[in-house]
Amino acid sequence: MKKILLSSLLLFCFSLSFSQVLQSNKPNWVKEISFNQEPKINFEEISQGVLTLLIDTQIDVDRNHQYTHKVIKIIDNIGIQNASNIDITFDPTFQKLYFHQIHIIRQGSVINHLDLSKINVIQREMNAENHIYDGSLTAMINLSDVRSGDIIEMSYSMIGVNPIHKGTYSDIFYLNDFEPIGELSLRILSEKELNITHRNASIKVENNKNKLQIEYLWHKLNIESEELENNIPIWANPLESVFITSYKTWKEVVKWGINVFHVDEITDKELLQKINQIDKFYKTDGEKIEAVLNFVQDEIRYLGMESGIGAYKPFSPDIVFKQRFGDCKDKSLLMSRMLQKIGVQAYPMLVNTSLGDELKNINPSAELFDHCVVKVDNNDSVFYYDPTISNQGGNYKNTFFPSYETGLVLKKGNDTLEEIFQFSEGRVEVFEEFKVDSAWSGAKMNIETKYYENEADNMRSFFMGNSKNTIEKDYTNYYSDYFYKVKLIGDLKTTDNLKENVFTVTATMEIDSLFKTENDNKSIVSATFNPTNLYEVIILPNQSERKTPFNLYYPTLREHRIRIKLPETIEIAKDNDVINTVEFYYEYDHFYDNKNDEIVLNYTYKSQYDHVKVDNFDNYFKQINVLNNIIGFNIRHDVGSSNSSVSIMKILNILIVISIFILFVWLAIKLYKYNPIPQIENYFNMNKPIGGWLILIAIALITTPFYFLTIIISDDTILNGDWLQFLNPDSIIFDLSLGLSIFVEFIVNIGFLVFYTLALFLFFKKRSSFPKVFIYLLICNSVFIILDNMIVYIIASSSLNIDQAIKDVLYSIIRAGIWVPYFLLSERSKETFVNILKPIKIKDGKNDLPLSTKMD
SS (HEC) of 596-637 = CCEEEEEEEEEECCCEECHHHHHHHHHHHHHHHHHCCEEEEE
Cut 0.75: pTM above it: no
Q: How far apart are CA 456 and CA 62, in angstroms?
A: 51
Question: Do 86 and 209 belong together in one domain?
Answer: yes
Model confidence at 519, pLDDT cuts 50, 70, 90, reads confident
Model confidence at 760, pLDDT cuts 50, 70, 90, reads confident
Question: Do 257 and 333 belong together in one domain?
Answer: yes
Express as a percent the part of the chain with pLDDT over 90.
54
pLDDT in tens, 227-257: 889 999 999 999 999 999 999 999 999 999 9
More confident: 345 or 688:
345
Q: How far apart are CA 804 and CA 352, in angstroms?
A: 52
Answer with the one of 619, 638, 657 that is the final residue of a domain: 638
Model confidence at 829, pLDDT cuts 50, 70, 90, reads confident
Distance from first CA to last CA of the chain, Å, rounded? 110
Query: Would you report the helix, strand and coil content of the chain in percent, each value rounded to 5?
Result: 35, 30, 35
Q: How far apart are CA 190 and CA 496, in angstroms?
A: 58
Residue 12 has pLDDT above 50, yes or no: no
From the number of C-beta atoms within 10 Å of its C-beta (0-12, 13-18, 19+), residue 638 rates as: middle
Q: How far apart are CA 186 and CA 190, in angstroms?
A: 13
What pLDDT shows up at residue 649? 62
Question: Do 32 and 127 belong together in one domain?
Answer: yes
CATH of the domain at 343: 3.10.620.30
Q: How far apart are CA 293 and CA 336, in angstroms?
A: 10
The DSSP symbol for 20 reads H
Instruction: Confirm if 819 and 782 have CB atoms less than 8 A apart.
Output: no
What pLDDT shows up at residue 652? 73
Phi, psi of 88 (to 5 degrees): -135, 125
What pLDDT shows up at residue 658? 85
Question: Do 325 and 285 belong together in one domain?
Answer: yes
Question: Do 480 and 606 belong together in one domain?
Answer: yes
Answer with the one of 638, 668, 689 that is the final residue of a domain: 638
Mean pLDDT of 258-285: 94
Question: Do 634 and 647 belong together in one domain?
Answer: no
Instruction: Confirm if 759 and 705 have CB atoms less than 8 A apart.
Output: no
Model confidence at 351, pLDDT cuts 50, 70, 90, reads very high
Model confidence at 821, pLDDT cuts 50, 70, 90, reads confident
Mean pLDDT of 304-311: 57
In a domain, 58, yes or no: yes
What pLDDT shows up at residue 13? 46
Residue 728 has pLDDT above 80, yes or no: no
pLDDT in tens, 773-816: 888 888 988 888 888 888 877 776 555 677 788 888 888 888 88
Question: Do 610 and 664 belong together in one domain?
Answer: no
Q: Hey, CA dihedral for 820, 825, 828, 830, is it positive or negative? A: positive
In this structure, how many other beta carbons lie within 10 angstroms of the beta carbon of residue 518? Answer: 13
Instruction: Confirm if 771 and 826 have CB atoms less than 8 A apart.
Output: no
Instruction: Confirm if 137 and 13 have CB atoms less than 8 A apart.
Output: yes
pLDDT in tens, 608-645: 999 999 999 999 999 999 999 999 999 988 776 544 44
pLDDT in tens, 430-486: 999 999 988 888 999 999 999 999 999 999 999 999 999 999 999 999 999 999 889
In this structure, how many other beta carbons lie within 10 angstroms of the beta carbon of residue 513? Answer: 15
Q: How far apart are CA 804 and CA 783, in angstroms?
A: 16
Instruction: Confirm if 711 and 703 have CB atoms less than 8 A apart.
Output: no
Q: How far apart are CA 589 and CA 587, in angstroms?
A: 7
What pLDDT shows up at residue 822? 83
Mean pLDDT of the chain: 86
Mean pLDDT of 56-75: 96
Q: How far apart are CA 613 and CA 687, in angstroms?
A: 79
SS3 of 650-662: the string is HHHHHHHHHHHHH
**Run of H or E residues at 580:** strand 575-580
CATH of the domain at 236: 2.60.40.3140
Residue 520 has pLDDT above 80, yes or no: no
How many Å is the Cα radius of gyration of the chain? 41
Residue 336 has pLDDT above 90, yes or no: yes
What pLDDT shows up at residue 648? 64
Q: How far apart are CA 723 and CA 744, in angstroms?
A: 11
User: Which of these, 80, 62, 152, lies nearest to 112 by C-alpha position?
Assistant: 152
What pLDDT shows up at residue 384? 96
Residue 575 has pLDDT above 90, yes or no: no
pLDDT in tens, 645-658: 455 666 777 788 88
pLDDT in tens, 177-210: 999 999 999 999 999 999 999 999 888 899 998 8
What pLDDT shows up at residue 637? 81
What pLDDT shows up at residue 699? 87
Residue 749 has pLDDT above 60, yes or no: yes
CA dihedral 463, 466, 467, 472 (to 10 degrees): -60
User: Which of these, 503, 505, 550, 535, lies nearest to 605 by C-alpha position?
Assistant: 535
Mean pLDDT of 731-756: 76
Question: Do 208 and 260 belong together in one domain?
Answer: no
For residue 368, the SS3 value is helix
| Cα-based angle 111, 114, 119 (whole degrees, multiple of 5) | 140
Q: How far apart are CA 598 and CA 600, in angstroms?
A: 6
Lowest mean per-residue pLDDT among 411-415, 426-430, 659-663: 659-663
Mean pLDDT of 737-746: 77
In a domain, 664, yes or no: yes
Instruction: Confirm if 285 and 378 have CB atoms less than 8 A apart.
Output: yes
pLDDT in tens, 100-152: 999 999 998 999 999 998 998 887 655 545 545 566 788 999 999 999 999 99
Residue 23, beta-bridge partner list? 99
CA dihedral 483, 485, 491, 492 (to 10 degrees): 20
Residue 597 CA: distances (Å) to CA of 105, 563, 565, 715: 81, 10, 7, 14
CATH of the domain at 544: 2.60.120.1130
In a domain, 849, yes or no: no
Beta strand extents in 61-128 (DSSP E only): 65-74, 85-90, 96-106, 109-112, 120-122
Q: How far apart are CA 31 and CA 175, in angstroms?
A: 19
What pLDDT shows up at residue 511? 93
What pLDDT shows up at residue 16? 45
Structural domain harbouring 111: 2-246
The DSSP symbol for 697 reads H
The alpha helices in 67-132, defined as continuous H runs, are: 80-83
Instruction: Confirm if 363 and 338 have CB atoms less than 8 A apart.
Output: no
In a domain, 290, yes or no: yes
In a domain, 821, yes or no: yes
Instruction: Confirm if 449 and 429 have CB atoms less than 8 A apart.
Output: yes
User: Which of these, 572, 587, 442, 462, lies nearest to 516 by C-alpha position?
Assistant: 442
Question: Do 404 and 449 belong together in one domain?
Answer: no
Answer with the one of 609, 638, 667 that is the final residue of a domain: 638
Non-local CB neighbours of 508 within 8 Å, separated by 6+ positions: 444, 445, 446, 447, 488, 489, 490
Instruction: Confirm if 377 and 396 have CB atoms less than 8 A apart.
Output: no
Residue 113 CA: distances (Å) to CA of 84, 142, 144: 11, 10, 8
In this structure, how many other beta carbons lie within 10 angstroms of the beta carbon of residue 209? Answer: 9
CA dihedral 242, 247, 249, 251 (to 10 degrees): -130
Non-local CB neighbours of 541 within 8 Å, separated by 6+ positions: 230, 231, 550, 617, 620, 621, 624
Q: How far apart are CA 660 and CA 665, in angstroms?
A: 9
Residue 59 has pLDDT above 50, yes or no: yes
Question: Do 399 and 375 belong together in one domain?
Answer: yes
Question: Do 662 and 800 belong together in one domain?
Answer: yes
What pLDDT shows up at residue 687? 67
In a domain, 532, yes or no: yes
Question: Do 590 and 736 belong together in one domain?
Answer: no
| Cα-based angle 126, 128, 133 (whole degrees, multiple of 5) | 90
**Run of H or E residues at 55:** strand 50-60
Phi, psi of 224 (to 5 degrees): -75, 155
In a domain, 655, yes or no: yes
Distance of CA 717 to the CA centre of its chain: 38
Non-local CB neighbours of 315 within 8 Å, separated by 6+ positions: 263, 323, 326, 330
- How many separate domains does the chain show? 4
In a domain, 846, yes or no: no
Beta strand extents in 151-200 (DSSP E only): 151-159, 170-174, 181-190, 195-199
Residue 846 has pLDDT above 60, yes or no: no
For residue 175, the SS3 value is coil
Residue 837 CA: distances (Å) to CA of 240, 385, 464, 762, 773: 97, 88, 87, 10, 15
pLDDT in tens, 279-306: 999 999 999 999 999 999 999 999 866 5
What pLDDT shows up at residue 686? 65
What pLDDT shows up at residue 855? 47
What pLDDT shows up at residue 730? 55
Instruction: Confirm if 328 and 312 have CB atoms less than 8 A apart.
Output: no
| Orientation of helix 328-342 relative to helix 269-281, angle to 10° | 60
